[in-house]
Amino acid sequence: MRGVVRWMAGGMLLALALLASLPVAAARLTIGLGGDVTTLDPHHHILGPNNTVAMHVFDALVDTDDHQRPRPGLAESWRALDPLTWEFRLRPGAAFHDGRPVTAEDAVASLRRAGRVTDSPLPFSVNLTTVAELTVVDERTFRVRTTRPDSVLPNKLRALAVIPARFEAATRADFDAGTAMVGSGPFRFVHWTRGDRIELEAGAAYWGGRPNWDAVEIRIVPKSAQRIAALLTGTLDVIEQVPPSDVSRLGVDSHVHLFSRPSLRLFYLMLDSGRDRSPFVTDRAGRPLDRNPLRDPRVRRAVSKAINRVNLVIAGMEGQAIPAGQFVPEGLSGHHPGLRPEPYDPRGAEQLLAEAGWPNGFALTLHAPNNRYVNDTALAKSMALMLSQVGIVTRVEALPAADFFARASRMEFSAFFAGLNADTGEASNIMHWLVTTRDSVTGAGVSNRGQYSNPQVDALIDKALRTVDEGAREGLLREAAAIAVGDVAVVPLFHSINVWATRRGLRITPRMDGYTFADDVLPVPETE
């Protein structure tokens, strides 16, 4: 929830006073996003830039603060009536931008629509696979009955946009054209210029209080150098994904303020461990192999040992990351204190390859996006060199994010580099997506594009998702993490540190989830 609830009364009064004292032009905020928006349909594709835009226009039932802790959104409260039933109570006074009140029927229609989306690299329907029945109790109350206990269902709803019920049958094209872009969030949709910008204006009667800005322009600027140049020239007021190589330089620039926070995002290598033959694995001469070496956990462990995570963090990320040995960083539920990042051990990697029957190594192609993450292509090339040095001759093919994710979802790759947020603020979500056996019915393993499968891991995660007791759930997730990491289900690399930059006179509350929200930006005195 943004607006009044985010700030204590005294701080809000000060902020409003400061805003009122600024020139009229300062009531417009321009944000530079580091990734492209693939669609305005808020239920279609779970992707950072898409979610950022959606949460300006739409509200979710459950919100999170900058530490990722759940708190009321459109739902002022929720409770478990029994192991299979959650009841949500909507806050009074919330209205859509067309003036119609937000009702329980709107919330139920939104859940129904989101649950039907399937033609996406990562649809919101993956969070709703346990939903069996939706019931409107009264105008402000509805219930969700699940097929099995779902202890983190409220957490899963934290970025699921509530739309007017009349748009339940709307298509992605209707949203992209702006026809269905009617929300109850702090800003109204004005216009989308694909690949360039989204224009918004303050909602007239937002339930959380009038936004801090009269108008917001969200610009798509995937190239880091262009984002920084636009900030320094005043074209942009706020930018996200500040490249690690520019943090030191911008940190001493008196015209810029930097803000950072460790993120929920795990960067990892996904390896094809499920197929007998893999499309981009060959012998060193480029000839097809009669078996897929990545199916052997010793080979996957060799890949992990060949990666110098400290080097990636220091040289590739300029210190703006934390080496990872598991799925979530320290401080989040499900973090296993005994799982450390794999030490860099090239000799050990070579020994494991020889033990697995590959003393001369093999060759593979490592795929990566070239416009989604900070230094994504450069990091992939660094890892390719590390792998090549232990006998796994590796070339890199970097693709635009839209092509990359579409092909990854079709499991066309043998190895790829990507990142994924632990959006629920704990380990169950990211582990359910990354390392459980793929199941299109339950949504398990939706991001498990290496087709890793271990029934013991599946059972532990499934039990954790059914367990309401937080301590017991954390124990199950830790046990599952230990097994999956031992199998090298994925190769954890690092947890990034989110870095934003604002022009002088502005500040932003940095978020663990990495989202950039206009109402998190406030003017500050020039003396700060």
pLDDT in tens, 156-188: 898 889 999 999 999 999 999 999 999 999 999
Is there a contact between 130 and 153 (Cβ–Cβ < 8 Å)? yes
Identify whether residues 304 and 177 lie together within a single domain. Answer: no
Position of tokens 């006179």? 505
Predicted pLDDT of residue 118: 78
Question: Does some domain include residue 158?
Answer: yes
Distances (CA, A) of 482 to 151, 158, 298, 456, 512: 22, 28, 16, 11, 24
pLDDT of 21 > 50? The answer is: no
pLDDT of 442 > 80? The answer is: no
Question: Does some domain include residue 403?
Answer: yes
Predicted pLDDT of residue 332: 86
Confidence of residue 19 (pLDDT cuts 50, 70, 90): very low
Predicted pLDDT of residue 50: 94
Q: What is the pLDDT of residues 354-395, one digit of tens each?
A: 999 999 999 999 999 998 888 899 999 999 999 999 999 999
pLDDT of 84 > 50? The answer is: yes
- The domain of 151 spans 4-255+504-523
Is there a contact between 461 and 148 (Cβ–Cβ < 8 Å)? no
Q: What is the pLDDT of residues 107-158, one digit of tens each?
A: 999 999 999 987 888 888 888 989 999 999 999 999 999 998 898 899 889 8
Identify whether residues 237 and 284 lie together within a single domain. Answer: no
Question: Does some domain include residue 67?
Answer: yes
CB count, 10 Å around CB of 486? 13
Identify whether residues 192 and 330 lie together within a single domain. Answer: no
How far apart, in whole angstroms, are the C-alpha atoms of residue 461 and residue 427?
Answer: 10
pLDDT of 267 > 80? The answer is: yes
Confidence of residue 17 (pLDDT cuts 50, 70, 90): very low
The answer, as to whether pTM is greater than 0.85, is no
Q: What is the DSSP letter of 288?
A: B
Predicted pLDDT of residue 264: 87
Confidence of residue 16 (pLDDT cuts 50, 70, 90): very low
Q: pLDDT > 70: what percent of the chain?
A: 95
**For position 224, which CATH number holds?**
3.40.190.10
Confidence of residue 526 (pLDDT cuts 50, 70, 90): low
Q: What is the pLDDT of residues 277-335, one digit of tens each?
A: 999 999 999 999 999 999 999 999 999 999 999 999 999 998 889 999 999 998 888 99
Identify whether residues 472 and 455 lie together within a single domain. Answer: yes
User: What are the start-end ranges of the H helices in 467-524?
Assistant: 470-487
Identify whether residues 151 and 250 lie together within a single domain. Answer: yes
Question: Does some domain include residue 528?
Answer: no
Q: Domains in the chain: how many in total?
A: 2
Residues 6+ apart with CB under 8 A from 232: 253, 255, 256
Identify whether residues 390 and 477 lie together within a single domain. Answer: yes
Length of the chain in residues, anyone? 528
